Structure 1
Amino acid sequence: MKKLLFLFTFTLSVICSQAQQIDRYNPDTLRTIVIDSAVNIRSHRLRAQDFIDAVMQDTSFYLAFQNMKGYAFTAENRVFTYNKKNKVEGKIYRKIFHSNVAGTHKLQYLAKADSGNVLKKNGKYQLYTVEMFDYIFMNAYNSDFVKADAAPGETKGKNEGYKAKLKTLIFTPGRRVSGIPFISSKTEIFGDDLKQFYRYEFARGKYLDTIPVYRFKVIRKPSSSVDDVMIQEMTTIFDERTFQILGRYIDMKYSNMFFDFDVQMNIELNYFGGELLPTKITYQGNWDIPLHKEERASFLIVHKDYKKE
């Protein structure tokens, strides 16, 4: 009887482990930063407006992705797609060595694997989310998920217009992003209409164990409703020595009769030869938008071994 019970338990455990869903990547900047303490910014001769101005005026965060053009590096791209029960439905993996030979970008595949339900009948990837990722983050180098027909910065059709606006939201947050129905008025988180729904938090810590940083968190007040705002939280990491932005975490949720999305994204940079370059992007999100199938996906994008060319 004990043997039968053991066999049953073992078989059940094997079945459960095979059916277990893969936890989505948790795109949380705090996992890379050790916070020393909350900080009184006045003692550092800083004001909340100094952080707001830096967020609004910064261009180096976006330029870090353009800086990749001058480097050889290895990219590891992992994508998981999910069904409505949040069980893994498809997997995409790419390990690619990027380089420039005589000014021409070259790709060398070190590993390439797809499994599950990831492609359409025409051979293209099913996820519109993947297409958005390529447009937003890979203007310098294509990630191989989508073959770009337009030159960087070009837009072709309504979809490209929406992706360009989403790029603005991620890289220059706090500005009004016009042209997106029912959302444009929700993006000015530092404006007079929305700032009443947010509180600011400041802390100091170490990024990657060595770089002293400030953490500036804009977070929805508990007294407000999720529906009052679209950006639930935005955390920005500043190099304490230079005030350059090294990382950004953003949590966006919104739902109405036209849109329904719940997205968290984290972007991290690091110094290579004194120049800022992207090292990690993590993403998890659910999208349900007009004319597209509902999508559930998570990404882990890692860039490493940068070498100046």
Structure 2
Amino acid sequence: MRGITFLIAFLLVCFDGFSQVVPRFNPDTIQTIQLDSAVNITAERLSAETFIRAVTTDTSFYQSFRNMKKYAFTAENSIFTYDKKNKVKGKLYRKIRRNSKAPWITYLSKQDTGHVFKKNGKYELYTVEMFDYIFMNAYQSAYTSGSGIGKAENANAGYKEKLKTLIFSPGRPVKGLPFIGDKTAIFTANMRQYYDYNFYSATYLDSIPVYRFKVTIKPDLNKGTKDGLMIKELTTIFDKRSFEILGRYVDMKYSNMLFDFNVQMNIEMQYFGEEKLPAKVSYQGNWNVPLKKPERASVLVLQKDYRLEK
């Protein structure tokens, strides 16, 4: 139960509605997309169903994370933790070089300040541990072919695999997450009555023509209904030329007797040669569960300089 609770909590900012707090520092200042205009549905012969099918059937987005293991690359990880007033409490920065010929990494720079680790050397926040599981494990393990999410070796790993599903396959139900597993299935017939589906023409990275498919809660719903919907926004960026997914932004917020969370996560890809590979991941989130310390954290992951080594 502990693992499930932490997984639910990780995925998403404990929000104190009764007090005013200082706005949080956002480490992600890189702007990559510029909105052009709403798409003319008749001219483009597109509909919301076109994008929904693409979102729910796509496997290439997750496969791009697996494909990066074939490459050598440089990565920068910046992690910030916050106190209850949203002031920076701790900071961890790592610059990493990965060798594609061996499953290990070299630290080019590594420094931490403030409250990041416990006295026993473990992370203070489960949020940070979860990010390490996803990214450091990917950096240090060898490439294997296939597009599915891996099998869990134990219960805790199983919860982390469910986390991957929530990140890489939004819009699908997630079995084994009490109280919220079905709330992620925002494209079912029952859930569609609560959401608006819009798509726009845009430019990504100054040169790539894309569609931005945006799913948001209907503005005229009553507050109780809105509060019961976990996914507040899901935006997906499609390359117009291939309909490949290049980016995903998700805004999730939910509260009940067991936990409160409010998280925003953004994942972006870039082309390196002909390969689509992860370039940026940003996370902003706080969560709170009974008898545990509230966790407030931001994460920015940048990956670049991909190259195949002979």
Aligned partner of 1:168 among 155, 165, 168 = 165
- Counterpart residue identity of residue 203, structure 1: Y
Q: What corresponds to 2:277 in structure 1? A: 277
Q: What corresponds to 2:105 in structure 1? A: 107
- Counterpart residue identity of residue 174, structure 1: G
- Give the conservation status (yes or no) of the 8 Å contact 2:105–2:139: no
CA distance in 1, matches of 2:61, 2:29: 18
Q: What corresponds to 1:25 in structure 2? A: 27
Percentage identity across paired residues of the two chains = 61
Q: What corresponds to 2:13 in structure 1? A: none
What secondary structure does 1:131 align onto? helix
CA distance in 1, matches of 2:125, 2:219: 34
CA distance in 2, matches of 1:196, 1:22: 33
Alignment of 1:119-130 (within 5 A): 119-130=117-128
- Give the conservation status (yes or no) of the 8 Å contact 1:25–1:284: no
- Give the conservation status (yes or no) of the 8 Å contact 1:27–1:265: no
Any idea what the Cα deviations from partners look like across 1:16-44, whole Å, max 9, x if unmatched?
Answer: xxxx986123589xx31111111123321
- Give the conservation status (yes or no) of the 8 Å contact 1:134–1:142: no
Note the residue ranges of structure 1 that are not aligned, 5 or more in a row.
1-19, 144-151
Aligned partner of 1:183 among 180, 185, 188 = 180
Any idea what the Cα deviations from partners look like across 1:94-124, whole Å, max 9, x if unmatched?
Answer: 00111133xx223121111001011112101
What secondary structure does 2:138 align onto? coil
Q: Indicate the structure whose relative CO is greater, using CA pairs within 8 Å and at least 6 residues apart.
A: 2
CA RMSD of aligned residues (A): 2.1
Deviation at 1:272, TM superposition (A): 0.9
- Give the conservation status (yes or no) of the 8 Å contact 1:27–1:282: no
1:286 aligns with 2:286: yes
Q: What corresponds to 1:301 in structure 2? A: 301
CA distance in 1, matches of 2:219, 2:263: 19
Note the residue ranges of structure 2 that are not aligned, 5 or more in a row.
1-21, 142-148
CA distance in 2, matches of 1:205, 1:189: 24
- Counterpart residue identity of residue 128, structure 2: V
Q: What corresponds to 2:215 in structure 1? A: 218
CA distance in 2, matches of 1:193, 1:187: 12
Deviation at 1:164, TM superposition (A): 1.6
Q: What corresponds to 1:248 in structure 2? A: 248
- Give the conservation status (yes or no) of the 8 Å contact 2:198–2:214: yes
Q: What corresponds to 2:94 in structure 1? A: 94
CA distance in 1, matches of 2:43, 2:283: 35
- Give the conservation status (yes or no) of the 8 Å contact 1:73–1:97: yes
CA distance in 2, matches of 1:176, 1:275: 29
Q: Comparing 155-164 with 51-60, which one deviates more in the overlay?
A: 155-164
Q: What corresponds to 1:12 in structure 2? A: none
- Counterpart residue identity of residue 187, structure 1: T
CA distance in 2, matches of 1:289, 1:133: 19
Q: What corresponds to 1:4 in structure 2? A: none
Q: What corresponds to 1:194 in structure 2? A: 191
Q: What corresponds to 2:50 in structure 1? A: 50
CA distance in 2, matches of 1:280, 1:198: 27
Q: Against the structure 1 CA distance between its residues 218 and 138, is the aligned structure 2 distance closer, same or farther, given a 3 Å change threshold?
A: farther
CA distance in 2, matches of 1:210, 1:282: 22
- Give the conservation status (yes or no) of the 8 Å contact 1:27–1:284: no
Any idea what the Cα deviations from partners look like across 1:127-166, whole Å, max 9, x if unmatched?
Answer: 11112223344553149xxxxxxxx834354433222212
Any idea what the Cα deviations from partners look like across 1:211-246, whole Å, max 9, x if unmatched?
Answer: 000000001111223313100000000000000000
Q: What corresponds to 1:6 in structure 2? A: none
CA distance in 2, matches of 1:82, 1:35: 32
User: Where do 4+ consecutive residues of structure 1 move more than 4 Å?
Assistant: none
- Give the conservation status (yes or no) of the 8 Å contact 2:201–2:211: yes
